C-alpha cells in the first residue's frame, strides 16, 4: 500500500479492487491502521474501528468473489463525524458530558453506506456539540484542537474538523460531516479537500445529533467532485424517521449535465486574486458570468436567532442538569444558556424573514444558474488564536456575496467547495451554490474546474510523530 493508494479517489480504488490488486479486507486494514497511527497526531480520531472494519470488509470480499457487485463504494473505507450513531460503540458528540455515551441504533446514512458496501474504519473528531450556538476556540473539543495537515500550528476548521483533516491527510478516502452554518465548507476549504453541503432534507439526519432541526444537513468530504457525487447518491433519499426529510433521492448523472456554455453564474471574487483566477478558469471553459450580490437581509442575526433558540431547546436537559458547564468553551456554555431566554416572538419573526429569504433566492435563480464566491476569504487561523480575532495580514475588501454561507444555510441551498490554490502555504477554495436540488449542476461545474486544475490533487506533508 503506497501513498498513491491513500490519496487515490474512490473511482480509482474501486477499479483496483475489481482488478483484485488488493482485497477489501487489505484496504480496510491499511486505512484503519493509518487512521489509528496518524489520526491522533492531528487530534482527528474519535474512535478507531479497524477490527470491525476488517470483519465487514471480509464479507464484502466474499460478495465480490460471487460477483455480487453493489457499485463504486463497495469495499471503500470511510470515516464518519462522531455525531453519527454507530450502534454499540461510543458516540461522544465531541463533548465531555457525552464522553461515554453508547447508542443502540445506527444512523440512517451509515446504514445506507453499509448497504452500498462501504466500510466504516473510524469515527472522527468534531467541535463539541457541533459548535452549538457559538464557540471561540479550536480547543472546544473533547479530542483537543484538530490540527491542519498543511500546518500543524493551524486549525482544520469546524465543526467537522476531524473529517476535513482525515481526508486531507490520506487517512480515509472520504468522510461524512455535517453543516448547520458552515461546518462542511469550513474544513473543506481550510484543508484543501472537496466538500458538498446537500440541499436541506435530501439526506436523512436520523441517528445524528441534532443541533438545529431546521438547519442541520449531512454531507461528504472527498478528494474531488466526482467522489462527492458517488457518496451523495448512496446517502440520499427519503426517510420517515427524519421529520425534515424532503422525500427525494439523488442520482449522480454527469452524462446528462448541461454544457457549461449554457450556464450563467453570478460571481463575486471580493478582490482576492486567487478567487478571480479560479473564476477565470471557468470563464475560459465557457461559463457566462456577471457580477452578483445577495438579497438584502440581516443573515447573521436571523441565523443566530434560529440556531440559538433550537439548540437551547434541544440541549435544555443538559443545561438544566448543570452538566453544560463541563463543556470546554465558555462562550458555548454562555450561548446555550442564553438561548433559553430568546423570546418566542423573536424566533417566529426570524422564521418569517427566513421564508422571504427563500423567496428572494428563488427569484435570483430565475436569471442565474449558480453563485460563485470564495468559500472563506482568509486561510485557517492559528490554533492559539481566538476564532473571533482579526485575521492576520491584509484584509480582503467587502464582498457582495460575503454572507453566502449563512444565506445558503438559511435557504437550504446546496453548495460545493473546491480547492483553488494556496495563500501563505495554506489552501483556499471557492464555493458553488445553486437552487435546491441542483447538486448535479454543481458537481458538473466542480468536475469541469478540477479537470482544468490540480489543486485537489495536492498532498500535505505527513505529520511527524
Convert the pLDDT of each residue in 79-137 to its tens digit.
999 999 999 999 999 999 999 999 999 999 999 999 999 999 999 999 999 998 899 99
| Residues assigned a catalytic role | 81, 159, 183
pLDDT at 465: 57
**252 neighbors 224 (Cβ within 8 angstroms):** no
C-alpha cell at 171: 487517512
Confidence bin at 389 (pLDDT 50/70/90): confident
pLDDT of the residue at 464: 66
Higher pLDDT, 396 or 151: 151
Q: What is the pLDDT of residue 398?
A: 86
Cα 212 from Cα 343, distance rounded (Å): 17
In tens, the pLDDT along 27-63 reads: 999 999 999 999 999 999 999 999 999 999 999 999 9
pLDDT in tens, 246-298: 999 999 999 999 999 999 999 999 999 999 999 999 999 999 999 999 999 99
pLDDT above 90 covers a percentage of the chain that reads 95
Predicted local distance difference test score (pLDDT) of residue 388: 86
The model's pTM is 0.98
**Residues 412-440, mean pLDDT to the nearest whole number:** 98
Amino acid 397: pLDDT: 77
Specify the pLDDT at position 332.
96
- Which domains, from first to last, does the chain contain? 3-296+352-388+400-457 (3.90.1300.10)
pLDDT of residue 366: 97
Amino acid at each position: 500500500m503506497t501513498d498513491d493508494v491513500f490519496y487515490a479517489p474512490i473511482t480509482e480504488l474501486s477499479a483496483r479492487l475489481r482488478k483484485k490488486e488488493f482485497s477489501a479486507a487489505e484496504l480496510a486494514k491499511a486505512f484503519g491502521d493509518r487512521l489509528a497511527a496518524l489520526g491522533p497526531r492531528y487530534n482527528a480520531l474519535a474512535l478507531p474501528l479497524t477490527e470491525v472494519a476488517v470483519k465487514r470488509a471480509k464479507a464484502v470480499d466474499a460478495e465480490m468473489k460471487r460477483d455480487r457487485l453493489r457499485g463504486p463504494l463497495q469495499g471503500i473505507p470511510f470515516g464518519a463525524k462522531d455525531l453519527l450513531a454507530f450502534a454499540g460503540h461510543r458516540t461522544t458528540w465531541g463533548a465531555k458530558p457525552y464522553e461515554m455515551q453508547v447508542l443502540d441504533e445506527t444512523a440512517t446514512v451509515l446504514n445506507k453506506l453499509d448497504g452500498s458496501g462501504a466500510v466504516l474504519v473510524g469515527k472522527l473528531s468534531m467541535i463539541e456539540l457541533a459548535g452549538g450556538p457559538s464557540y471561540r476556540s479550536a480547543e472546544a473539543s473533547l479530542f483537543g484542537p484538530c490540527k491542519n495537515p498543511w500546518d500543524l500550528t493551524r486549525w482544520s476548521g469546524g465543526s467537522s474538523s476531524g473529517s476535513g483533516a482525515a481526508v486531507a491527510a490520506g487517512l480515509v478516502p472520504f468522510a461524512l460531516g455535517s453543516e448547520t452554518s458552515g461546518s462542511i465548507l469550513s474544513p473543506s476549504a481550510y484543508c484543501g479537500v472537496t466538500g458538498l453541503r446537500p440541499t436541506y432534507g435530501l439526506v436523512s439526519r436520523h441517528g445524528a445529533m441534532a443541533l438545529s432541526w431546521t438547519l442541520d444537513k449531512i454531507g461528504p468530504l472527498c478528494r474531488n467532485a466526482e467522489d462527492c457525487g458517488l457518496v451523495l447518491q448512496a446517502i440520499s433519499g427519503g426517510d420517515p424517521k427524519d421529520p425534515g426529510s424532503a422525500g427525494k433521492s439523488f442520482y449522480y448523472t454527469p452524462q446528462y449535465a448541461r454544457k457549461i456554455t449554457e450556464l450563467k453564474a453570478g460571481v463575486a471574487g471580493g478582490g482576492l486574486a486567487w478567487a478571480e483566477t479560479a473564476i477565470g478558469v471557468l470563464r475560459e471553459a465557457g461559463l457566462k458570468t456577471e457580477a452578483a450580490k445577495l438579497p438584502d437581509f440581516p443573515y447573521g442575526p436571523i441565523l443566530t436567532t434560529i440556531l440559538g433558540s433550537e439548540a437551547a431547546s434541544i440541549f435544555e436537559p443538559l443545561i438544566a442538569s448543570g452538566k453544560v458547564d463541563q463543556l470546554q468553551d465558555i462562550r458555548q456554555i454562555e450561548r446555550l444558556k442564553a438561548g433559553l431566554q430568546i423570546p418566542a416572538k423573536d424566533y417566529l419573526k426570524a422564521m418569517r424573514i427566513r421564508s422571504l429569504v427563500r423567496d428572494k433566492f428563488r427569484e435570483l435563480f430565475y436569471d442565474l444558474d449558480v453563485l460563485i464566491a470564495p468559500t472563506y476569504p482568509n486561510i485557517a487561523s492559528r490554533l492559539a488564536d481566538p476564532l473571533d480575532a482579526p485575521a492576520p495580514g491584509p484584509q480582503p475588501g467587502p464582498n457582495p456575496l460575503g454572507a453566502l454561507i449563512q444565506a445558503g444555510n438559511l435557504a437550504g441551498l446546496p453548495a460545493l467547495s473546491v480547492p483553488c490554490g494556496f495563500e501563505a502555504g495554506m489552501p483556499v477554495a471557492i464555493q458553488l451554490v445553486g437552487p435546491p436540488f441542483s447538486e448535479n449542476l454543481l458537481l458538473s461545474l466542480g468536475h469541469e474546474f478540477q479537470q482544468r486544475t490540480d489543486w485537489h490533487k495536492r498532498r500535505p506533508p505527513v505529520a511527524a510523530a
